[in-house]
Amino acid sequence: MTTRSETQTTLDHLLTEIEHRNPAQPEFHQAAHEVLETLAPVVAARPEYAEPGLIERLVEPERQVIFRVPWQDDQGRVRVNRGFRVEFNSALGPYKGGLRFHPSVNLGVIKFLGFEQIFKNALTGLGIGGGKGGSDFDPHGRSDAEVMRFCQSFMTELYRHIGEHTDVPAGDIGVGGREIGYLFGQYRRITNRWESGVLTGKGQGWGGSLIRPEATGYGNVLFAAAMMRERGEDLEGQTAVVSGSGNVAIYTIEKLTALGANAVTCSDSSGYVVDEKGIDLDLLKQIKEVERGRVDAYAERRGASARFVPGGRVWEVPADLALPSATQNELDENDAATLIRNGVKAVSEGANMPTTPEAVHLLQQAGVAFGPGKAANAGGVAVSALEMAQNHARTSWTAARVEEELADIMTSIHTTCHETAERYDAPGDYVTGANIAGFERVADAMLAQGVI
């Protein structure tokens, strides 16, 4: 039998090869490293996983699509963006993962997101594979007509690569209900099919699911609550810092408040707001979802309890819980040290890979419960899969039923990660538990289906 050290050496060589074969893709390198560095014990224990190039196939996308997206702005000027869809792994079901519209999008970012999605989707147990897509288009400051023209051009190429049994995109940063509507309309126009299961995050009147907008934030809080229960505590009376002010952050704050915690921050690229009384959700939703404004407007209109800190970082604010809900690598080693000094008990990732590896290591060393995004923020894709189920049956479920299903799924994910970590002699290490549990489910399916 191969020893754990020999297996780790093999995995280290593979990581070097990944970096060589995928140059200038640091986010993908980081995601691959974070997973592969935890797999030595399971590969050593189950040598069949080291057999027919299984891990080598796992880290190579099944398909990568890059395409031109030409569109006209309101002044009649032709603009050109780049579109991406990385269909990473379909061993468990159709590719499933969001579309991100943001200037930072490039192939490496999409590959990191798609790779993470493989394990996240596996953890839900809902029979969905991993993929991701998007564009370097920035919808901020664009009119509805410009966004519509861009989405129509984007879908004119993307439609040939997706389908309810092949690849089912959803939203992500920069892609909300407006964008999903335009994308679905163009798909329907081109294909002449009402294939509601081809996209998730749709409007509730035309195939969408109740609780889908809330699902990622709600699920993250439910995972954080499960971690706290393992410590003999609950969320009642705990102070929480949340980064971001988009969909994930807003509904993270909403669920924290519902469970008795006091969420005191939100942020955007301009800085952050701290509100001693707790974030006023109605005001935040008005500014961000209706007016599409900045968080400094929240502080101006909230009153004496709130202040805006330009260019600051929410992790400066003392809290019991931290829920990074904005973007990748937003919480670094210095931030982790600050949180630890201020007595943080748990960190749960609402965004995808928002915590740097150095910060994760520091938090775990300090005994802070750490929920990795592939487990903690899986609620969004879980309810997307429930939306697909409703679409297949041409029915819709009540909000209560969807929320009950979400709670059961998040509890199951927590239990799976916790028990897997203990099974591999890493008690309390949710990173190891999530990586190995997700890997086992995908690897078993890949072995069963042959070398493809």
Active site residues: 132
Q: Element (H or E) spanning 273, and its range?
A: strand 271-275
Burial 159-171 (b: 16+ CB within 10 A, else e): bebbbbeebbbbb
Nearest alpha carbon to residue 123 among 430, 446, 426: 430
Are 317 and 310 contacting, i.e. CB atoms less than 8 angstroms apart? no
264: left (phi over 0), alpha (psi -120 to 50) or beta: alpha
92: left (phi over 0), alpha (psi -120 to 50) or beta: alpha
Residue 136's SS3 state is coil
Q: State the Cα–Cα distance between residues 377 and 252, nearest whole angstrom.
A: 10
DSSP state of 320: S
Q: State the Cα–Cα distance between residues 437 and 250, nearest whole angstrom.
A: 29
Nearest alpha carbon to residue 37 among 15, 18, 19, 17: 15
